[in-house]
Amino acid sequence: MNSEIDVSTLGAAAPSASEALRKDAAPTPLEWACLVAGVVLLLRYAWLMDDAFVYFRYVDNWVLLGNGLVYNRGEFVEGFSSPLWALLLSVLRSLELPYWILIRALGVVSFALCGWLLIRVNRQLSPVGAPTVNVPLLFVSLGYGPLCYFTSGLETPLVQVAAAAYALHLVSPRSRGLDFALALSPLLRHELALPLGLYGLFLWARDRRFPWRLFGLSAAFTGAWLAFRVYYYADFFQNTFYLKNLVDVPQGLLYLRNTVATYALHAWLTLHVGLLLWLGRRHRPVGRLAERGVMIGVSLAVTAYVIKIGGDPRHYRFLAFPTLLTLCAFSGVAEQALLQLAAPRRRLAGAAAALAFGAFSLAAYPEQLREHPIFLRDDARMVDKIKDAAEHRRMPQLTPPALSLGGEIEQLETYRRRQGKGADYSGLFAQSGCVYLYQAWDRYALHVLGLTDAVLGRTEMASDRPAHKLGLIPLSEDMADILRGVHGRPDRGVYRAAVERGDAAPWIAANLESIEVIERKIYNRHDWGENLRLAFTFPEPIRVEAD
């Protein structure tokens, strides 16, 4: 019967009956308007990123062509970043839904789920009697960055849902559903193991008991995938981890500035900190200060990781989680401040505050664009080595028209017509464009920037821009010369034979020992004993001397 009043403010005075925290989760008219506007804008901004076609090729090879969860049949390399996203796509693709319909439907569902979670977070952190502002929901529903990444074909829709789930997990009664969501998060993005660990430590200290269910579920889910990864791919990490695990702090700071400046996040956070201090001076401190601090601390930890690796080549994407979680940390602060006004003025002031923040969120767009993206007329330009979704949105080979079913990018009819299960590869196709490699589904595909190739992925080389090592392209040409001479599919010993024939480039001969270990991983026999030994075998990075 005490669930209506929250006294766990950890040092702050307990709220009076008039300031009890709200528990109702029914959306207000403002929130309904946000949800509707968000769906409309989400579909307006919908697009597919080139990297999404890596997932599409893996998924189709598994569920439609019977080749396994591989990029090339018989070649076992985990070239995707999110196991959870790959599994979700696989389940839905098994229904033979076109990708363009599937991705947009997932975007709408993810947005609705994220919005519902943000409403619940706001209720937990807002006092009774205050008008609703719900700053996090306004940002997600109207902001260009978050709306873009409810589509794209990558895992970011679920990342944004995860940020809202992390916030709610701290401030709501215990929920098995939220435990499941958090436990799965390391399979969504490997860096989300960091917030999970920090959350667990805080829950342990706050509740004075170890969060067995949360960590037990996480150990089960992550352990199951790691066991599969060892059995199937003979490794502990995916290929993209080796490719992108760099240190480029200056570029990472530019990436952070691009997001913060676009949405004036520094100004909004400063305003909310000011409100917190003002409320404290009026002896009206907000509740859940420790939980809010944990949200901010976790956001800073994830942001530090993003800065360390140099960010991403696309605006906002890698900062989606910490940005939304930080806004959740200040959820209810505006509502608490409005409660200090005289009753007749609260509703008008609340509407004005929501209108101001919403209008700014809707109007803001990154400097990569010359005009507002709602017009869909502008190509993205590169600024500080960062591009925007608009570039891919205007490419019909990537993003079909809004009213299309997506036949322009589909291979379903080709699979049926060719009866592609078990078809032999008809040669090697080397490309950097993932969409073209997806379309060449019946050919051996070599991604020249190393996304799906284990040798290139482990090559030590500075990035020309985030996730783009252009120096890998000439190396891929050397590899292609060898692979084109193979009759049938490549297997172990291909590069040693080329070295012994004198057909291999000098860098291949110099790194042959490492390459042969990588070959044993790529062409593993799914033998538990051998694969476990291979997983614990860490070859030296491939090093190429500069000319």
Which string of DSSP letters, residue by residue, matches 362-425? HH---TT-SS-GGG-------BTTBB-THHHHT-TTTS--TTS-STTT--HHHHHHHT-TTPPP
Which string of DSSP letters, residue by residue, matches 411-437? -HHHHHHHT-TTPPP-SEEEES-HHHH
Domain ranges of the chain: 19-363, 414-535
Query: d(Cα 313, Cα 327) in Å, to the nearest integer?
Result: 24
39-53, 142-156, 274-288, 444-458: which range is least confident on average?
274-288
For the segment 135-148, what is each residue's pLDDT rounded down to a tens digit? 999 999 999 999 99
Q: Mark 218-240 as b/e (b = at least 16 C-beta within 10 Å).
A: beebbeebbeebbbbbbbebbbb
Helix (H, G, I), strand (E, B) or coil at 485: coil
For the segment 489-506, what is each residue's pLDDT rounded down to a tens digit? 889 999 999 999 999 999
Helix (H, G, I), strand (E, B) or coil at 503: coil
Least Cα distance to 504 among 482, 523, 484, 487 occurs for 482
Q: Tell me, what's the pLDDT at 419?
A: 67
The mean pLDDT value for 467-473 works out to 92
Q: Tell me, what's the pLDDT at 41?
A: 97
The mean pLDDT value for 371-382 works out to 84
Burial of 444 (0-12, 13-18, 19+ CB in 10 A): buried
The mean pLDDT value for 193-201 works out to 94
SS3 string, 307-364, reads: HHHCCCCECCHHHHHHHHHHHHHCCCHHHHHHCCCCHHHHHHHHHHHHHHHHHHHHHC
Asked whether residue 376 carries a pLDDT value surpassing 60, the answer given is yes
For the segment 131-189, what is each residue's pLDDT rounded down to a tens digit? 999 999 999 999 999 999 999 999 999 999 999 999 999 998 677 889 999 999 999 99
Asked whether residue 83 carries a pLDDT value surpassing 80, the answer given is yes
Q: Tell me, what's the pLDDT at 23?
A: 59
Q: Tell me, what's the pLDDT at 148?
A: 95
CB under 8 A, 24+ apart: contacts of 240-246: 240/79, 240/80, 240/81, 240/451, 240/457, 241/190, 242/454, 242/457, 242/458, 243/450, 243/451, 243/456, 243/457, 243/458, 243/467, 243/469, 244/309, 244/466, 244/467, 245/309, 246/309, 246/310, 246/462, 246/463
Tokens of 67: 């080749």
Number of C-beta neighbours around residue 278 at 10 A: 12
Query: d(Cα 331, Cα 309) in Å, to the nearest integer?
Result: 29
Residue 133 near residue 335 (C-beta atoms within 8 A): yes
3-12, 56-65, 476-485, 498-507: which range is least confident on average?
3-12
Tokens of 441: 């589904």
Query: d(Cα 200, Cα 215) in Å, to the nearest integer?
Result: 8
Q: Where does the pLDDT of residue 195 fall: very low under 50, low under 70, confident under 90, or very high at 90 and above?
A: very high
Which residues, 6 or more positions from 351, have their beta carbon under 8 angstroms from its beta carbon? 30, 131
Asked whether residue 14 carries a pLDDT value surpassing 90, the answer given is no
Asked whether residue 73 carries a pLDDT value surpassing 70, the answer given is yes
Q: Tell me, what's the pLDDT at 1?
A: 35
Residue 527 near residue 501 (C-beta atoms within 8 A): no
The mean pLDDT value for 407-430 works out to 78
Question: Would the CA dihedral through 9, 347, 295, 308 be positive or negative?
Answer: negative
The mean pLDDT value for 456-460 works out to 95
For the segment 258-271, what is each residue's pLDDT rounded down to a tens digit? 999 999 999 999 99
- Whole-model pTM: value is 0.92
The mean pLDDT value for 457-471 works out to 91
Half-sphere exposure of 5 (CA within 13 A, CB side): 11
Q: Where does the pLDDT of residue 24 fall: very low under 50, low under 70, confident under 90, or very high at 90 and above?
A: low
Number of C-beta neighbours around residue 9 at 10 A: 17
Asked whether residue 281 carries a pLDDT value surpassing 50, the answer given is yes
CA distances from 306 to 236, 258, 313 (A): 21, 13, 12
Q: Tell me, what's the pLDDT at 18?
A: 36
Residue 222 near residue 324 (C-beta atoms within 8 A): no
Cα 466-467-473 angle, rounded to 5 deg: 120
Q: Where does the pLDDT of residue 21 fall: very low under 50, low under 70, confident under 90, or very high at 90 and above?
A: low
Q: Tell me, what's the pLDDT at 7?
A: 33
Asked whether residue 9 carries a pLDDT value surpassing 80, the answer given is no
Asked whether residue 129 carries a pLDDT value surpassing 60, the answer given is yes
210-219, 317-326, 375-384: which range is least confident on average?
375-384
Q: Tell me, what's the pLDDT at 8?
A: 36
Quote the crossing angle between the two packed helices 52-63 and 99-125, to the nearest 10°: 110
Tokens of 209: 């008991």
Cα 350-356-360 angle, rounded to 5 deg: 150
Q: Assign residue 178 a region: left if phi > 0, alpha if psi is -120 to 50, beta otherwise?
A: alpha
Residue 187 near residue 83 (C-beta atoms within 8 A): yes
Tokens of 333: 């602060």
Burial of 507 (0-12, 13-18, 19+ CB in 10 A): middle
Q: Tell me, what's the pLDDT at 173?
A: 67
Q: Tell me, what's the pLDDT at 481?
A: 93
Question: Would the CA dihedral through 34, 39, 42, 48 be positive or negative?
Answer: positive
Dmax over Cα atoms in the chain, in whole Å? 87
The mean pLDDT value for 532-545 works out to 95
Averaged confidence pLDDT in the chain: 91
Asked whether residue 546 carries a pLDDT value surpassing 80, the answer given is no
Asked whether residue 451 carries a pLDDT value surpassing 60, the answer given is yes
The mean pLDDT value for 207-231 works out to 95
The mean pLDDT value for 46-51 works out to 96
Least Cα distance to 263 among 142, 349, 162 occurs for 142
